[in-house]
Structure 1
Amino acid sequence: MPETLSPPDLYRRSLRHLLDKDIASWVGLWAEHRVMEFPFAPPGWPGRLEGREAVAAYMRDYPEHIDLHDFPGLRIHETTDPATIVAEMRGVGRLVATGSPFDMTYIAVVTVQDGKFTSYRDYWNPLAVHEPGAAFMTDPTRSSAR
C-alpha cells in the first residue's frame, strides 16, 4: 500500500522536490482532477489551473527560470479542517536569466485528500520578481514557486 502523508508532511515533501528540481515528482503529489489558483495573478497570467496536466504544463520549465536554494522560515499552520493547512515561507535562490537574487514571501492555503494535493491557493506576488530580461516574467504561461 502506498504511503499516505499528512498535509504538513506532504507539503514539506513538495518543497524538497522543488529544491531538488524534480518537477515530475512534485506534480506526482497532485490528485488527478484538482485545482491550483493564483489569487494575485496579474492580467494575462493564469489565475486558475484545473487538473494535474495543467499544473504539470505550468511547472514544466520552472527550474530553467528560478534556481531555488532554500525555503527559510517555513511555518505550517493546521486549521480546524484536518485536510487543510496554511503555509508561510520565503523562497530564496536566483533568477536564472539574469543571475539576480530571488527572495519571495509566500502564503499557501492547501487542501489534501488521500495524501495528494486537491486544492492549492498560491498567494505570491509575481510583480515582485519582474526584471527586464527575466524570461520567467515575460511569458505569462510560466510558473510560480509553489
Structure 2
Amino acid sequence: MSIASELLQLHLRWLVDDNQQWQELIADDVVWELPYAPSLGHPQRLEGREAVIEHAAWFIGAVKDFRFFDAVVTPTADPHHAVARVRAEGLIPSTGHTYRQEYVVFLTARDGRITHLREYFDPVQAALALDAPIAGIPSRSTR
C-alpha cells in the first residue's frame, strides 16, 4: 500500500469520526479543492491548515451521523498520489433530510501528510438535502 493510499483511507475514516486525529494527517500548506462547491455558495479552494480545519468543522456541524462506506481506494504509479470512489450519507438536522452522496477524491501526499485534496461530488444531491436553491429545480419544500 502506498503512503497516499494509506492517508486517503485514514482521511475517510477520521475526517468525521476522529477529527482531532484527522488534523494530524494534513500538512500546514494543505490545499483542498472542491470544484462544484461554489454552486452551493461554498469556496472552491481552501488553502492552509486553518481554512481546511474550519471547513471540516463546518461540515461536521452541518451533517449528523455522517459516514463513508463502500470506499474503493486506488493507488497510482506514483506512491504520493491516490484516488478514491466512496459513498456517504448523513442527516441534515436543519432540514431533516438525508444527505446521500458519492464522492471521487484525489489525494497528494508529501512527507507523510496530506498536501492536496481534490473532491468531486454531486452538488444537486447536496442542495436537495440542504434545501438550497438550484436554478431550474424546485426545492423539496416547494414541490
Aligned pairs, how many?
131
Q: Which has the larger radius of gyration?
A: 2
SS in 1 for 2:38: coil
Whole-angstrom CA distance in 1 between matches of 2:81 and 2:65: 25
SS in 1 for 2:6: helix
Aligned to 2:86: 89
Distance 1:69 1:51, change over 3 A: closer
Aligned to 1:38: 34
2:5, 2:83 within 8 Å by CA — same for their partners in 1? no
Correspondence 1:1-146 to 2 at 5 A = 6-20=3-17, 22-43=18-39, 44-131=41-128, 134=130
TM normalised by structure 1 equals: 0.77
2:91, 2:99 within 8 Å by CA — same for their partners in 1? yes
Q: Which whole-Å deviations, capped at 9, do the CAs of 1:84-130 have from their partners, x for residues lacking one?
A: 00100101222122232121000011011122101100111233121
1:66, 1:96 within 8 Å by CA — same for their partners in 2? yes
2:72, 2:85 within 8 Å by CA — same for their partners in 1? yes
SS in 1 for 2:96: coil
Whole-angstrom CA distance in 2 between matches of 1:121 and 1:6: 17
Q: Which whole-Å deviations, capped at 9, do the CAs of 1:23-52 have from their partners, x for residues lacking one?
A: 333222111012110122235421111111
Whole-angstrom CA distance in 2 between matches of 1:103 and 1:88: 14
1:27, 1:55 within 8 Å by CA — same for their partners in 2? no
Structure 1: runs of 5+ lacking an equivalent: 139-146
Q: Which amino acid aligns with 1:71?
A: F
Runs of 4+ in 1 over 6 A off after TM superposition: none
Structure 2: runs of 5+ lacking an equivalent: 134-143
**Structure (1 or 2) with the greater helix fraction:** 2
SS in 2 for 1:25: helix
Aligned Cα RMSD in Å? 2.3
Percent of residue pairs bearing the same amino acid type: 32
